[in-house]
């Protein structure tokens, strides 16, 4: 492998000749061979948005030449397009401030800019210095948390919320479609009074709707970014207006109304905004787990379970049992939900370890929360498309269970009293009678009165 020699404040180091990164990136590669979790590409692209905005403002403030600013912006556009993905190799498991990744992008912009200006990377006359020019008016300490907020806000608006809205709307559609289907209710996993299948699905739709609201609420804090705070929040080595100007450029580029952090010290030392997003994701994951559990149990069987819902057949379910179909989409959803919920623990620990002026768990926070958002968006879309859309009610099984339910006696209790109604239910169960038969035989109820009072249409 051909190499070139690069240098930083610690000396020289050999780097693959075909890569744009520099000495700091190479040292991180060699010193942090941990796991297999690359820094999310959405963070790299968010950093490029920041570097581009900074170059625009630094030109306006006469801190960069026209050529320097233009070169930075051109390379940032290449990074955002994905053209330079191969030059961002670093792991999540690095310095907790994300400095290695910030320097990775600084070095790539510097060296790629050198090439675009027709000069050698090996030249001592750098048009773009990674620290002095690309990182001007910035610090990893304000840039990296800003990148997390930008990447998450884009993911939420472009992927997570549209998928959840689609899921909620499909549940609402099913709720209306199933309005006239009356079925046995269940509490404590035992038979209860009847309800409409549509009512059951309306609860699911509302759960997802509340989840959407929680995520939207978490965006309020997330939209504040600390750019301009530099090292500890004071804004040292940046102009007073740099942060606000750069954030305005980022807002224009993304169409998302980011705002300067009300308190940059808070935004850099604590990552409560990111934790709030993760907690909102986990709330939806717990709701999805409950919803899919209900659907899976209602669809159990198809002959020896409840069998009230019919799931679409998508793949063979067994390598040995012919004809078996399993609730595979639901199983995938619940595994992903478990992963999302587990990230709450990691992010809680990470947020409370913001020591003094900087949180040094930021790569973990970024990786966990972005993965949660990706999973939540993917499973919502997949479950809607490949399962929920094609679910059908098994009206025969629903009616059979409803007619066998002993809890219909509840409607009679207000007429004959709780204790007598309970005795009728017990008599029916012990003697394998229908509730109507037991009421007539044991309770001496007139058949016409029973039919008038125990009317499921009046019970819902």
Residues carrying an active site annotation: 188, 318
The SS3 call for residue 182 is strand
In this structure, what token pair is assigned to residue 60? 């306006």
- Residue 193: enclosing H or E segment and its boundaries? strand 190-196
Cβ contacts of 157 within 8 Å, gap of 6 or more: 256
- Residue 148: which of 65, 271, 29, 25 has the closest Cα? 271
- Residue 208: which of 337, 380, 372, 334 has the closest Cα? 380
CB atoms within 10 A of CB 318: 10
Cβ contacts of 323 within 8 Å, gap of 6 or more: none
Region of 417 please: left (phi>0), alpha (psi -120 to 50) or beta.
Answer: left
Identify the burial level of 381 via C-beta atoms within 10 angstroms of its C-beta, where 0-12 means exposed, 13-18 middle and 19 or more buried: middle
| 216-235 core/surface letters (b: 16 or more CB in 10 A; e: else) | eebbebbbbbbbbbbbbbeb
Are 234 and 243 a contacting pair, CB within 8 Å? no
Long-range CB contacts (< 8 A, 24+ apart) of 310-317?
A: 310/391, 310/392, 310/393, 310/394, 311/387, 311/390, 311/391, 312/386, 312/387, 312/390, 312/391, 314/386, 314/387
Rounded CA-CA distance 324/343 in Å is: 34
In this structure, what token pair is assigned to residue 29? 């590669």
In this structure, what token pair is assigned to residue 216? 């939207």
Beta strand 259-260 with 224-225 is parallel
Phi, psi torsion values for 127, nearest 5 degrees: -70, -35
Are 90 and 108 a contacting pair, CB within 8 Å? no
């Amino acid at each position: 492998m051909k190499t070139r020699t690069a240098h930083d404040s610690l000396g020289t180091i050999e780097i693959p000749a075909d890569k744009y990164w520099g000495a700091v990136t190479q040292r991180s590669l060699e010193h942090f061979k941990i796991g297999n979790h690359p820094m999310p590409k959405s963070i790299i692209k968010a950093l490029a948005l920041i570097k581009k905005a900074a170059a625009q403002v630094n030109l306006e403030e006469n801190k960069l030449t026209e050529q320097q600013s233009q070169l930075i912006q051109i390379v940032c556009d290449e990074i955002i397009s994905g053209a330079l993905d191969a030059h961002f190799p670093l792991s999540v498991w690095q310095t907790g401030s994300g400095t290695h990744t910030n320097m990775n992008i600084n070095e790539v912009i510097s060296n790629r800019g050198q090439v675009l200006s027709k000069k050698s990377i090996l030249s001592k006359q750098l048009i773009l210095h990674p620290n002095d020019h690309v990182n001007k008016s910035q610090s990893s300490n304000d840039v990296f948390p800003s990148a997390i907020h930008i990447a998450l806000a884009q993911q939420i608006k472009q992927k997570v919320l549209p998928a959840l809205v689609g899921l909620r709307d499909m549940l609402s559609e099913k709720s209306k479609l199933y309005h006239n289907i009356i079925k046995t209710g269940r509490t404590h996993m035992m038979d209860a009074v009847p309800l409409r299948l549509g009512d059951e699905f309306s609860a699911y739709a509302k759960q997802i709707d509340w989840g959407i609201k929680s995520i939207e609420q978490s965006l309020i804090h997330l939209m504040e970014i600390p750019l301009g705070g530099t090292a500890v929040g004071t804004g040292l080595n940046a102009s007073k207006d740099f942060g606000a100007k750069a954030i305005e450029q980022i807002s224009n580029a993304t169409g998302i109304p980011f705002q300067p952090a009300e308190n940059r010290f808070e935004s850099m030392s604590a990552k409560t905004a990111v934790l709030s997003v993760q907690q909102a994701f986990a709330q939806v994951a717990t709701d999805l787990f409950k919803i899919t559990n209900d659907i899976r149990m209602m669809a159990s069987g198809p002959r020896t379970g409840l069998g009230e819902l019919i799931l679409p057949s998508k793949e063979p379910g067994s390598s040995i049992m012919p004809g078996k179909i399993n609730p595979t989409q639901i199983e995938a959803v619940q595994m992903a939900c478990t992963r999302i919920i587990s990230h709450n623990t990691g992010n809680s620990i990470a947020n409370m370890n913001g020591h003094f002026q900087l949180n040094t768990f930021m790569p973990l926070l970024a990786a966990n929360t972005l993965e949660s958002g990706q999973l939540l968006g993917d499973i919502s879309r997949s479950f809607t498309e490949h399962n929920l859309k094609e679910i059908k009610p098994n009206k025969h099984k629903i009616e059979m269970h409803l007619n066998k339910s002993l809890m219909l006696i509840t409607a009679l209790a207000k007429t004959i009293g709780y204790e007598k109604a309970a005795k009728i239910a017990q008599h029916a169960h012990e003697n394998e009678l229908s509730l109507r038969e037991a009421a007539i035989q044991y309770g001496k109820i007139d058949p016409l009165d029973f039919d008038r009072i125990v009317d499921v249409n009046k019970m819902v």
